[in-house]
């Protein structure tokens, strides 16, 4: 086995331009930010950019919380993140998951902060429940709520015992998109929260070496992981977590449910993120598991970073 020498790393915002002091410069930057998050689009325009949903999916891994009858009854993880676009704080994400000996439940909430709150009331809530079958994760229910100003969209997925899904939505999709979704959804394809829970448990011994297909009720996409290096988030790194981490590349590939335009853009310029996962010892599993503690990348050419504001596991600060 090849050993990777740890490297001291600082997670910083890659965009150093800031908003500037002048009103004109603020207006210019706000215009770019509004364009990135599709603010001010026509009523028929697509609400949620690929990047925003993917950021939430990436950080959803931090909701790991496991239970077993052989030791501690429960282990809970509660983490919160600040998401910056450039140097402006745009979103806060809160994550929490609780598991029993044979089941799990996970909850995520995204809400706007700063400029995002001023110019577009965007929010998102995800929840998932499921069970363990022979140490494997089997999702049972997932709900996805999204809101932009007064427009609301929800999607709910239910998994049968066979692994097949049924989906209900408050919005319509074309017959062609529905056919594409049906074709892309294999048996036991998980939701975003369950998918990262599965990855955090099963891949801790060999981080970022697999791909995962995910279904969120409206879209199907693949997340492909690649290990870059083992590193250490040092004192200069932003975020609550300091310590050893696995630095990984995450590539987002749309599969079904997207517009032809979005699919063409994804093929030409794939969305790629860098994610740092912290190894944490689970006493109930007697093994290490992975929690995401930072992420960076670009959304439509604009740099973003997500860092932990607070991080707790099994009642202790990470």
In the predicted structure, residue 156 carries a pLDDT above the cut 90: yes
- pLDDT of res. 82: 93
Whole-structure pTM value:
0.76
Q: Is the pLDDT of residue 224 over 90?
A: yes
> What does the domain layout of the chain look like in residue ranges?
47-317
Top pLDDT among 275 and 97 is at 275
**In terms of pLDDT, which residue wins out, 111 or 299?**
111
pLDDT digits (tens, 9 = 90+) for 21-73: 443 444 444 444 444 444 444 444 343 445 556 566 666 544 443 433 444 57
pLDDT of 283 strictly over 90: no
Q: Report DSSP letters for the chain, one per residue.
A: -PPPPP-EE----S------SSHHHHHHHHHHHHHHTTTT--TTS--S-HHHHHHHHHHGGGG-----TTS-S---EEEEEEEEETTEEEEEEEEEEEE-SSEEEEEEEEEE-THHHHH--EEEEEEEEEEEETTEEEEEEEEEEEEETTEEEEEEEEE-TTS-EEEEESS---HHHHHHHHHH--TTPPPHHHHHHHHHHHSTTSTT--EEEEE-SS-EEEEEEEEEEEEEE-TTSSSS--EEEEEEEEEEEEEESS-HHHHHHHHHS-EEEEEEEEEEEETTTTEEEEEEEEEEEEETTEEEEEEEEEEEETTEE-
How sure is the predictor about 285, in pLDDT bands with cuts at 50, 70 and 90? low
pLDDT above 50 for 147: yes
Q: Summarize pLDDT for 299-316 with one digit per residue, the tens.
A: 777 888 999 999 888 888
Q: Compare 47 and 317 and report the one with higher pLDDT.
A: 317
């Amino acid at each position: 086995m090849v050993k990777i020498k740890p490297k001291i790393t600082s997670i910083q915002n890659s965009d150093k331009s800031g908003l500037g002091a002048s009103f004109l410069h603020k207006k210019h930057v706000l215009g770019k930010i509004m364009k990135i998050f599709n603010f001010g689009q026509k009523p028929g325009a697509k609400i949620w950019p690929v990047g925003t949903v993917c950021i939430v999916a990436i950080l959803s891994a931090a909701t790991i919380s496991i239970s077993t009858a052989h030791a501690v009854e429960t282990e809970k993880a509660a983490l919160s993140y600040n998401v910056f676009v450039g140097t402006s704080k745009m979103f806060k994400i809160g994550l929490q998951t609780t598991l029993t000996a044979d089941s799990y439940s996970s909850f995520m909430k995204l809400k706007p902060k700063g400029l995002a709150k001023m110019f577009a009331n965007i929010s998102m809530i995800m929840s998932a429940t499921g069970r363990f079958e022979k140490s494997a994760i089997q999702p049972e229910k997932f709900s996805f709520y999204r809101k932009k100003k007064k427009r609301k969209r929800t999607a709910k997925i239910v998994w049968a015992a066979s692994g097949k899904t049924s989906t209900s939505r408050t919005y319509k999709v074309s017959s062609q998109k529905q056919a594409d979704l049906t074709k892309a959804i294999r048996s036991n394809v998980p939701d975003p929260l369950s998918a990262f829970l599965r990855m955090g448990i099963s891949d801790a011994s060999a981080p970022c070496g697999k791909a995962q297909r995910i279904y969120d009720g409206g879209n199907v996409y693949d997340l492909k992981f690649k290990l870059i290096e083992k590193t250490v988030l040092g004192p200069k790194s932003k975020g609550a977590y300091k310590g050893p981490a696995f630095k990984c590349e995450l590539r987002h590939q749309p599969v079904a449910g997207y517009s032809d335009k979005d699919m063409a853009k994804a093929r030409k310029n794939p969305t790629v993120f860098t994610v740092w996962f912290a190894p944490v010892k689970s006493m109930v599993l007697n093994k290490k598991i992975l929690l995401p503690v930072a992420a960076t990348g670009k959304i439509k050419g604009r740099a973003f970073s997500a860092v932990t504001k607070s991080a707790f596991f099994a009642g202790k600060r990470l």
